Amino acid sequence: MLWKSDIPLVIVLVVLGVQTCLAQINRGSFPKGFVFGTASSAYQYEGAAKEEGRGSTVWDKFSHSFGKVADFSNGDVAVNQYHLYTGDIQLMKDMGMDAYRFSIAWSRIFPNGTGKINQAGVDHYNNLINALLANGIEPYVTIYHWDLPQALEDKYGGWLNPQIIKDFAAYVEVCFQKFGDRVKHWMTFNEPHTFATQGYDVGLQAPGRCSILLRLFCRAGNSATEPYIVAHNTLLSHATVADIYRKKYKARQHGSVGVAFDVIWYEPATNSTEDIEATQRAQDFQLGWFIEPLIFGDYPSSMKSRLGSRLPKFSKDESALLKGSLDFVGINHYTTFYAKHNSTNIIGVLLNDSLADSGAITLPFKDGKAIADRANSIWLYIVPHGIRSLMNYIKQKYGNPPVIITENGMDDSNSPFISIKDALKDEKRIKYHNDYLSNLLASIKEDGCNVKGYFVWSLLDNWEWAAGYTSRFGLYFIDYSDNLKRYAKDSVQWFKNFLNTT
């Protein structure tokens, strides 16, 4: 059933007092058919930025702009998986992984976003898909992982213009035609909330638009309106291609279409009514913003009441197209924050942006104390029970849809003072995955959550967007100074044991 109580669901789940399960777990602990894999994206992995007809993307331009990336790096080479994929597939196979989630670069299929198909790009992904299947690894394909062809950004403003819906649909239909006979799991978008807010609200990701703090960070943009326009066009793009798939391809290809949503779990900073309600609003402005139109056909009521005319409206036909257009829910989950009511609204006055519109302050601190131990990234605190609470939240609020954990993982720093030998000793990562998987298992077996798979971010250390190469999320260490050699961290052996024990 759907959650209908007046009591915000987030507080009910916190009161449950979900605990970390410390029992020994392995593949056999999970339901039969549960899928384990690793995840990646084209711009972070492929490299070969100017090879075989690939067109430029907004991330090419952004990462080559001074000061946009922490270490002044870019994804021109990344980890060179475009050329090294056969070896990387062998690493997955040796570990016992069932699946690989990767993204297709739009600009490899259509270098200018539209027009003539680049056959070399099609050939590459055909070769990759065939190699995966030949090694018993199922392809899970993300169609858009933030790398918009620069030509469409230059031509009409990309996601800010409804023309993007038609151009995206044309690109995606080519993907269905060329790869859909073998690809059975599609994600139209990776983290639409992230690229809407980070790209068009605070300007920290491509295309780097914002208007916060008197436009000190961005040359153009409107943080109060553009994130909502981008989100609106993204949602309609998903619904359009999901409808195309169901009408033209599903009967013979038998695949499914979902979205990978980014979700921080939020817990109330106190048990006050104000903080409990703020926690629900924070979740509405994160997950609810994108999932509710695709399940219910409209935005959360808290967004509509707080934003008024700044929030675009769906027509009746659009609402009908959106509603029920998810075959599964992808969840990228890493961490948990506290949420509290923003009583002063100082942040809202300073920023005038979507991150302040919820009227909630979300931070990993309370009374000067961190919520938990931190990984390397400033936002990534290790709170394993959060994944169980989040699965229960989705189950109760959205009718227990099929869920795939499309990303979960933690990073270490890329320090020049740590030897490769020591960098391979990643006990913290092993504990992270053990504890998150234990809580995920409890959500399935004890709580009845409908979770179907788990994808580690990531197989390899890689280029991490604005963090560049300063962050290492991989199960395999990449030696950036020696031909991108791959070295197994201790977590590889842990996953081998986990996946080969039933």
Which residues are designated catalytic? Answer: 191, 407
Q: Is 308 left (phi over 0), alpha (psi -120 to 50) or beta?
A: left
Is residue 376 within 8 Å of residue 412, measured between CB atoms?
yes
The CA distance from 364 to 370, in Å, is 6
b (16+ CB within 10 A) / e for 37-61: bbbbbbbbbbbbbeeebbbbbbbbb
Angle between helices 385-398 and 427-445 (to 10 degrees): 30
Non-local (6+) Cβ contacts of 1 within 8 A are 396, 399
The C-alpha R_g of the chain, in whole angstroms, comes to: 21
Q: Is 254 left (phi over 0), alpha (psi -120 to 50) or beta?
A: left
- Tokens at residue 474, please? 């991989």
Q: Which helix (H) or strand (E) holds 370?
A: strand 369-370
The 10 Å Cβ neighbour count of residue 81 is 24
